Amino acid sequence: MAQTETSSRGNWNSKVGFILAAAGSAVGLGNIWRFPTEVASNGGGAFLLIYLICCFAIGFPVMVAELSIGRKTDRNPVGAFKALSSNKFYPLIGFWGVLCGVMILSFYTVVAGWTFSYVFEEIFFFMGLESWANYFAEVSNGVKNGIFSTIFMGATVSIILGGVSDGIERATKFLMPVLIGILIIMIGYVSFQPGAGTGFAEYLKPDFSQISAPLIFSAMGQAFFSLSLGMGALITYGSYLSKKENIPEAAAYVTLADVGIAFLAGLLIMPAMYMAESFGVSIFSESGELLASTDLIFQVLPALFHSLSTTAGMIFGVSFFLLLSMAALTSTISLLEVPTSYVIDEYNVKRKKAAMMIGGGILIISLIISFDISLIGTIDFIFSTVGLPLGGFLICYFLGYVWTVENALEELEHGYPALDSSIFKAVWPIFIKFLAPLAILYNLLEAIGLVSYIEQLF
Ligand code: TRP
């Protein structure tokens, strides 16, 4: 389907192209690195359950909200809020988003750098040039981290330079199916290994007694992170979207693809964790506590690949880390696109200059993180776990009470002629005005201890 509408900002080439790009933004390290780590350190199945609820009850409605704001205004997140209201306060929501994007990208490139370096580690290992012993220690090698982060940022900037549509659409089209294929084959292999049952049970049987305020808070943060929500990435992507597209339908596809891939990653990594011992990796302490840290998958997955025959291990190990690097790249692109489009639109800077300046600036933070990887956890907590739901709350509030759902529904009707008689129209406003913002607000207040403080007063 050719793009008939013309817009100076560039547009997606086709409907599938947009879904692929948004899914490319969603699917990344969040699904395969962050999600399994969160599951493993937050009570397995209980976390999975709350995560799924957050994705569908909060994530999906917010995704529709972001896309509709973006398409309506044809702007970056800061400009979008300026366009819809004359109140000077609201563009701050966009600024907060830009800041979260910058900070998330700064550590994301470091983890993406590890992923890419593992392509080579795997090759060297199977060629017998690298021993397993000093393999993982490399993760805290600052110089090496710096080099790989720089490579990754360079790749991201060079794609952003070409504009939004071509590179991302093409890369994602083949990437996603192959990644799913590898995950499924590896899950098949893992299920026949001794000990798999424990991992599957831990993952799929929710232990309701594990559900706690911190668990819910982490699950909500994970839902926002994984779906690329709360910082205006999808306002920006929505601004490249044509009026012919059905936004709720596209958002549904993106949500399902993202949740599906995260679910598969859990099915692979949870059992693999429990058999890691037999592969020679210890991830549990003496007392049986999980030594979960940000780098869990960088130990468990290679151990799994190394338990295969040399040829199979080489094929799966190398292609897995290569594909994951590419999945990370389609995500870093969306993270960098937000500040870049902001500077292009609002300060009239050329795309090339904007991308290089911002990419370069963020790289400086990445280099600092490269030498002190303990910063990752802190920055991730502030700007992902807290920052993104906060942004999501403000977006719900803005759409529901400032721009109003009536205006949003009018925008959504383009490309969705049957909207008027749909269940979506009946339900979405309730989620955007009440359920999603209240759930987020409650959890944020709970996290800073305000809820228990208020309870004590009575
Ligand atoms: N969703 C991506 C992942 O799961 C990360 C990401 C890309 C992101 N763009 C974003 C997270 C925007 C929050 C906001 O890896």
Q: Give the C-alpha separation, 255 to 67, whole Å.
A: 13
Give residue-wise pLDDT tens across range 42-85.
889 999 999 999 999 999 999 999 999 999 999 999 999 999 99
Q: What percent of the chain has pLDDT over 70?
A: 93
Task: Tell me, using a 6 A CB cutoff, whether residue 104 lines ligand 1.
Answer: yes
- Residue 25 Cβ inside 6 Å of ligand 1? The answer reads yes
Q: What is the pLDDT of residues 246-260, one digit of tens each?
A: 999 999 999 999 999
At 293, the pLDDT band (50, 70, 90 cuts) reads low
Asked whether 415 lines ligand 1 (CB < 6 A), one says no
Distance CA 442, CA 435 (A): 11
Mean pLDDT for the chain overall: 90
For ligand 1, what atom is nearest to the CA of residue 29? 15
Ligand 1, atom 4: nearest CA belongs to which residue? 30
Q: What angle do CA 136, 141, 144 make, to 5 degrees?
A: 105
Atom of ligand 1 nearest to the CA of 35: 4
**pLDDT of amino acid 168:** 67
From 110, 324, 334, mutation site for ligand 1 pocket: most ligand atoms within 8 A of C-beta: 334
**Which one, of 302, 273, 324, 15, lies nearest residue 137 by Cα?**
302
Instruction: Quickly tell me which residue has 């999600």 as its tokens.
Output: 35
Q: Specify whether domain 17-457 bears CATH 1.20.1740.
A: yes
Using the mean position of ligand 1's atoms as its centre, give its distance from the Cα of residue 339 in Å.
Answer: 14
Identify which of 331, 332, 337, 385 to mutate to test ligand 1's pocket (most ligand atoms within 8 A of the CB).
Answer: 331
Give the distance (Å) from ligand 1 centre to CA of residue 75: 19
Burial of 130 from C-beta contacts in 10 A (0-12 / 13-18 / 19+):
middle
Q: How far is the CA of 86 from the centre of ligand 1 (A)?
A: 30
Alpha carbon of 250 to ligand 1 centroid (Å):
17
Between 445 and 7, name the one with better pLDDT.
445
Asked whether 370 lines ligand 1 (CB < 6 A), one says: no
Structure tokens at 141: 């090698």
Q: With a 6 A CB cut-off, is 231 part of the ligand 1 pocket? A: yes
Least confident window among 55-59, 104-108, 156-160, 355-359 = 156-160
**Residue 285 pLDDT greater than 50, yes or no:** yes
Minimum-distance ligand 1 atom for the alpha carbon of 338: 12
- pLDDT confidence bin for 8, thresholds 50/70/90: low
In the chain, domain spans: 17-457
Q: What is the pTM of this model?
A: 0.94
3-state secondary structure of 290: strand
Which residue puts its alpha carbon closest to atom 12 of ligand 1?
228
Residue 121 CA to residue 129 CA, distance in Å, equals 9
Q: Which of 76-85, 179-188, 443-452 bottoms out in mean pLDDT, i.e. has the lowest?
A: 443-452
Does any ligand 1 atom lie closer than 6 A to the CB of residue 222?
Answer: no
Residue 289, CA distances (Å) to 10, 42, 65, 247, 285 in order: 51, 12, 40, 44, 5
One-letter amino acid of 376: I
- For a ligand 1 pocket test, name from 106, 228, 376 the mutation site with the most ligand atoms within 8 angstroms of its C-beta: 228
Q: Is 130 helix (H, G, I), strand (E, B) or coil?
A: coil
Cα 25 to ligand 1 centre (Å):
6
CA of 26 relative to ligand 1 center, distance in Å: 5
Q: Which of 167-176, 182-191, 322-331, 434-443 has the lowest mean pLDDT?
A: 167-176
User: Residue 395: how many CB atoms within 10 A of its CB?
Assistant: 29
Q: How many Cα atoms occupy the beta-carbon half-sphere of 424 within 13 Å?
A: 21
> In the structure encoding, which two tokens stand for residue 92, read together?
């701050």
Whether 335 lines ligand 1, by a CB cut-off of 6 Å, is yes
Average pLDDT over residues 118-143: 80
pLDDT band with cut points at 50, 70 and 90 for residue 177: confident
For residue 30 and ligand 1, the question of a CB distance below 6 A is answered with yes
- Residue 335 CA, closest ligand 1 atom number: 9
Residue 439, ligand 1, Cβ within 6 A:
no
